Structure 1
Amino acid sequence: MDYSSIIGFSKDHRTETFVMYVQMDIKTYLSFVGDKFDEFSIQRKKESHKGYARLKNDIKDGALLPPITLALKPELVKKYIPFLRAEPQNVDQLNGIFQVSESVYILDGLQRTHIMKDLSEEGYDFKQNQKLLLEFWFEEDMGNLIYRLIVLNSGQKPMSMRHQVELLFLTMQDKLKKDIPGLIMYNERESKARDNASMFPFDRIVTGYQSFLNQSPEINKGKLISDKLDTGKVITDVDMVILEGYNEYTAYLTKYLAIDVQSYRVYEKFSSFSGAKNWLADENVVNSFFAAIGILADEPVFKKRIDLALLNLTELLTNSKIGDDPFALKDYDLIRQGFNPKQFNIGFISRKTIMNCFLEYFKGEGLLSFKKCWSLAKTS
């Protein structure tokens, strides 16, 4: 019996990526993708969704599934390019791909694969001749694969904005790990919660960077994603060389981490403000802090004041005892409680107030207390 067969070829002329179409029975497919098919770092985690229960029954009934899109692992692509370029394509050599399990990433069809895997482990025998249509992409550039993954996101449960931001700035994450060794970043897929200082969701580092560049804490993630997709690529290594303001941002981010370490210590058992120890990891705070720096840092006189303020803030926190309130969060909480949701968008007015507080602190070289800065921020 023919368990898999190559039925056609195509090419994405935008990226010059070769594509191969294959029919394969489900049992062979599950053996081919292996047990670690969900460990592709840029993929979503396994989802739980009521639509998948219906899909599970459809598969048991023998439904023809939409095509599953696979990408040969980039390090294996080069070997097969000559066979794809040949006229006609060298099918015998290309069939060798199916002899190597766990040689592909799943770009589209991860949840369907989970369901089929579950059925197989439950002992279900798939219907005879129940086959899948597979689309194989031969692409060495991870950026093109990420772009394709986002474009393909048309399943029953949309990919979150957070995940898309993480994918589009994936190379930036790798560079940050090298440039700031103490920074611990985690992605949506990892389902982690912050349980120590210097830990931040990666998308928060990205929006902080955008706030720094735009000199505003108001970040439209949808527009950010759209703008990157319009360029047809993610941030690549070449882009990082000329990435606007990256070195300046990471210099301030390094100082922010040192401040966060002391803040976490001081506020770890602080009960008068919910989430006080993680305040500096809050998205509103991250964006507002870096927006304030972005506004002032272009002017040499203010740049010096920012540097002095950050030194003074680090010293203030280092000298603070556990249970102290150096950020005057109780004062901010009182201001926050006075926000009228009928009059303001609470997120917007919160970010504006926090940014104004940091602006006052930076302009004053860190000599004004945060209690005073909150008071000034409230009226500005």
Structure 2
Amino acid sequence: MPPITIAFVDKGKTELSDRKVFEGFVNQNIDSGYILDGLQRLNTLLSASEMEGFDKKRPLHLNVIVSPSQDKLLYRMITLNNGQKPMTPRHQVEILTQEMFDFTDLNNISVQTEKERSEKITRGAFNLSDISNAYLAFLTNNVNNENNKIVNEKMDEILVGRVLDTDIADGSVQFEDVLKLLDKLCVNSEVKKWFKVNNNLIGFCVAIKKVYEEVSEVEPDRFEEVIAVFEEGFDAINASKVNLGKYRRQLSKEFFENFVEFSEYDAEELTEYFAESTS
């Protein structure tokens, strides 16, 4: 049987070059490991283990990956599965978003899956699919990961290419940091309402890598004032001439990429900039 690949996130960056330390790390953290490749094999093995005559002493070969962050682990997962087509990159991101981020640690944000929402709606909760789309945008550095004009298989190839082209290894800002920043800002109900518009969230998550330190210093009430000016400028766009969803993603990205400058603009200045951008 080909080796099963399991992975761990080790934020403490344990020195694992010593074999015994490595073995101890795996055994100690096995309950928090992720199966990157071989889930079907593992289920088959479980069924076989319940049969009479099963030899539990036979060795099981494993590939073990230890990553310092969720983002780098997802990058490895996509490169591992690229070309095998076990699941789409979008599906991989959705699964890892749910499994790898502990939303219970957040104070002002709650997240629900479609299944949870169908059973009982938590008022003000974000959709997991929206968080997942924002994460995909963060990973690809691109706000346009949806395109109905491109067939699914081709779009999957494009998404894999975008992820592989992104230098995740050198990224100082992780998506976990972005979630904590969002949680801080969402103590303000108007800010939270603004981020619940998925196109706003996507644009913000792509841009935040460049201005994380600057935005982190902004108080939630001041952030509300800034996005209120953004909305005034955006509302002046002629909706009959442009795709508003597309431009909301793009302009929110541009706005936050230039946050230090644009946060000082008044509504008239921002309206003029948006008009030029959409003409």
TM-score (norm 1): 0.41
Q: Tell me if 1:287 matches 2:187.
A: no
Counterpart-to-counterpart distance in 2, 1:314 and 1:249: 19
Q: Contact 1:259–1:314 at 8 Å: present in 2 too? A: yes
Which of 303, 311, 315 in structure 1 is aligned with 2:217? 311
**Cα deviations across residues 194-252 of structure 1 (Å, max 9, x unaligned)?**
622xx32112222212222322211138469845999xxxxxxxxxxx88859522212
Cα distance change, pair 355–171 in 1 and its aligned pair in 2 (3 A): closer
User: The residue matched to 2:101 in structure 1 has which SS?
Assistant: helix
Which of 186, 205, 208 in structure 1 is aligned with 2:131? 205
Counterpart-to-counterpart distance in 1, 2:173 and 2:104: 9
AA in 1 matched with 2:275: K
Q: Contact 1:284–1:351 at 8 Å: present in 2 too? A: yes
Which of 247, 251, 258 in structure 2 is aligned with 1:349? 247
AA in 1 matched with 2:261: G
Q: Contact 1:284–1:350 at 8 Å: present in 2 too? A: yes
Counterpart-to-counterpart distance in 1, 2:115 and 2:154: 20
- Runs of 5+ unmatched residues, structure 1: 1-12, 17-70, 87-142, 154-160, 231-241, 268-276, 298-302
Cα distance change, pair 346–210 in 1 and its aligned pair in 2 (3 A): same
Which residue does 2:36 correspond to in 1? none
User: The residue matched to 2:111 in structure 1 has which SS?
Assistant: strand
Counterpart-to-counterpart distance in 2, 1:351 and 1:223: 24
- Runs of 5+ unmatched residues, structure 2: 5-39, 55-76, 161-167
Q: Which has the higher helix share?
A: 2
Cα distance change, pair 206–370 in 1 and its aligned pair in 2 (3 A): farther
Which residue does 2:27 correspond to in 1? none
Which residue does 1:106 correspond to in 2? none
Give the number of aligned pairs. Answer: 201
Counterpart-to-counterpart distance in 2, 1:356 and 1:364: 11
Counterpart-to-counterpart distance in 2, 1:229 and 1:215: 11
Which of 235, 238, 242 in structure 2 is aligned with 1:333? 235
Counterpart-to-counterpart distance in 2, 1:365 and 1:330: 13
AA in 1 matched with 2:202: N
User: The residue matched to 1:349 in structure 2 has which SS?
Assistant: helix
Q: Contact 1:285–1:351 at 8 Å: present in 2 too? A: yes
Cα distance change, pair 186–370 in 1 and its aligned pair in 2 (3 A): farther
Q: Contact 1:168–1:228 at 8 Å: present in 2 too? A: no
Which residue does 1:48 correspond to in 2? none
User: The residue matched to 2:236 in structure 1 has which SS?
Assistant: helix
AA in 1 matched with 2:143: P
AA in 2 matched with 1:185: V
Q: Contact 1:186–1:201 at 8 Å: present in 2 too? A: yes
Q: Contact 1:357–1:373 at 8 Å: present in 2 too? A: no
Counterpart-to-counterpart distance in 1, 2:104 and 2:215: 23
Q: Contact 1:213–1:245 at 8 Å: present in 2 too? A: no
AA in 1 matched with 2:218: N
User: The residue matched to 1:210 in structure 2 has which SS?
Assistant: helix
Structure of larger gyration radius:
1
Q: Contact 2:140–2:159 at 8 Å: present in 1 too? A: no
TM-score (norm 2): 0.53
AA in 2 matched with 1:339: A
Cα distance change, pair 166–281 in 1 and its aligned pair in 2 (3 A): farther
Q: Contact 2:234–2:271 at 8 Å: present in 1 too? A: yes
Q: Tell me if 1:171 matches 2:96.
A: yes
Cα distance change, pair 374–189 in 1 and its aligned pair in 2 (3 A): farther
Which residue does 1:376 correspond to in 2? 273
**Cα deviations across residues 120-141 of structure 1 (Å, max 9, x unaligned)?**
xxxxxxxxxxxxxxxxxxxxxx
Q: Contact 1:165–1:203 at 8 Å: present in 2 too? A: no
Which residue does 1:216 correspond to in 2? 142
Which of 185, 191, 195 in structure 1 is aligned with 2:123? 195
Counterpart-to-counterpart distance in 2, 1:229 and 1:312: 32
Cα distance change, pair 284–14 in 1 and its aligned pair in 2 (3 A): farther
Counterpart-to-counterpart distance in 2, 1:369 and 1:261: 24
Please show how residues 224-373 of structure 1 align to structure 2 within 5 Å: 226=156, 245=171, 248-262=174-188, 264=189, 266=190, 278-294=193-209, 297=210, 303=211, 306-317=212-223, 326-335=228-237, 338-341=238-241, 344-360=242-258, 362-364=259-261, 366-369=263-266, 372-373=269-270
